[in-house]
Amino acid sequence: MSSRPPRGGIEAVSAAVLAMNRRLEVREVLQTIVGSARELLAAQYAALGVPDDHGGFAQFVVDGVSDEEWKAIGPLPRQHGILAAMLHETTPQRLDDVRDFPSFEGWPRQHPVMRDFIGMPVMDGEEILGALFLANKQCDKRPEERHRFTQEDEDLLRILADHAAIALTNARLYERSRELTLVGERARIAHELHDAVSQKLFSLRLTAQAATALVDTDPARAKEQLREVAGLAREAADELRAVVVELRPAALEDDGLVATLRTQADVLNRVHAAKVTFEARAVRALPASQEEVVLRVAQEAMHNALRHARARQVDVRLEGRGKSVRLRVGDDGQGFDPDSVRTAGRHFGLASMRDRAGAVGGRLDVRSAPGRGTVIELEVPGG
């Protein structure tokens, strides 16, 4: 029977679990699991492999190896040796020297030397989601001596792996829900494209036909109709450009929140008659999930102001407040009564904004009145 982990070990596991649960992206969760496991067991190296269906790894995350060392090692490993064993067996492995494992096949030339080893499957019921691998037990007091992983280490790692399975499953569900949300947003954009652009093109066609019929009998009215054709063409072009902007993938990962929002505001300012401004002050980087929420809420608010409120001025402001970030989108459009909107079942994306804010512990405030414009404020806590 396994020995009971000491109080200090349980506290360390608790801290690791909290760190995992603060992450929503699968990659972030995997990296947090690996880093936590390595620190918890005082290992020199740690890795977590998530298998694919083709004998390789869909994801393989390491800790204790620099980017340069990892690049020198080469391609991701295949499922062989101890790696394969941990992905097909539900019991942990604890070895004095991993090189003595029966199916050990060696390492790439630049791979670090590993001796003592512990592996733990990460399981959801009977399904193996992945496996944790740790090597080279360290000791701060006598680093020159060789150490081995103990039963206590195994007990702590088993607890961590149980919680890691929950965190990884939650992260996958979050990413899946986000994919479904993206599909829904694209469907919404397609619907708006049909409603807005198609109607304008239909009106343009009828007006052009009317102008053609009047050229000979009433040239003055024909000129008026042609001027209307030009106006409708401009409006249709504006709608199409706006749809392209919404469909273009956000550059959050490459450019960051401030640069991405500034770019989108600049583009909207060019393609719409309304003036769109952007200002940022003392904004710190947020975790990826929080930054995406801020971006999506800003996009929805600007969309409402330009498409529905017929605003002539839209001001977007992003401001850092300690560890949190506040977004403010204000417009001078026709406004609305929030209570009447809810009663009529028309939300203008407000429900989606509130859901997004709530998912990351944020707070959304909407202020509007008929003829008085609209202000949407979102405050999101930092990591």
pLDDT tens-digit profile of 271-308?
777 899 999 998 888 888 888 899 999 998 998 898 78
Once rounded to an integer, what is the mean pLDDT over residues 102-116? Answer: 85
pLDDT tens per residue across span 74-100: 877 777 778 888 888 888 999 999 888
Domain that holds residue 79: 7-174
Q: Is the pLDDT of residue 233 over 60?
A: yes
Question: Does this model's pTM top 0.75?
Answer: no
Sheet arrangement for strand 313-321: 275-281, 313-321, 324-331, 374-380, 363-368
Q: Give the CATH number for residue 88.
A: 3.30.450.40
Q: Verify that 166 and 310 share a domain, yes or no.
A: no
Q: Verify that 42 and 152 share a domain, yes or no.
A: yes
Q: Verify that 19 and 159 share a domain, yes or no.
A: yes
How far is Cα 103 from Cα 87, in angstroms, rounded to an integer? 14
pLDDT > 90: what percent of the chain?
23
Give residue 356's identity as a one-letter amino acid code: R
The residue ranking higher by pLDDT, 279 or 106, is 279
Q: Give the CATH number for residue 315.
A: 3.30.565.10
Q: Verify that 148 and 272 share a domain, yes or no.
A: no
Which pLDDT does position 368 carry in this prediction? 93
Structure tokens given for 232 = 């409708």
Q: Within a domain: residue 268? A: yes
132, β-bridge pairs: 48, 120
Once rounded to an integer, what is the mean pLDDT over residues 322-350? Answer: 77
Q: Is the pLDDT of residue 248 over 60?
A: no
Which pLDDT does position 138 carry in this prediction? 86
Q: Is the pLDDT of residue 116 over 90?
A: yes
Taking the CA atoms of 211, 215, 217 and 223 in sequence, report the sign of the dihedral they define.
positive
Once rounded to an integer, what is the mean pLDDT over residues 54-62? Answer: 82
Total structural domains in the chain?
Answer: 2
Q: Within a domain: residue 215? A: no
Q: Verify that 295 and 146 share a domain, yes or no.
A: no
Q: To 5 degrees, how large is the angle CA 90–CA 96–CA 101? A: 60
Q: To 5 degrees, how large is the angle CA 108–CA 114–CA 115? A: 140
Report the b/e string of 353-367 with b at 16+ CB within 10 A. bbebbeebebebebe
Neighbours of 231 (CB within 10 A): 13
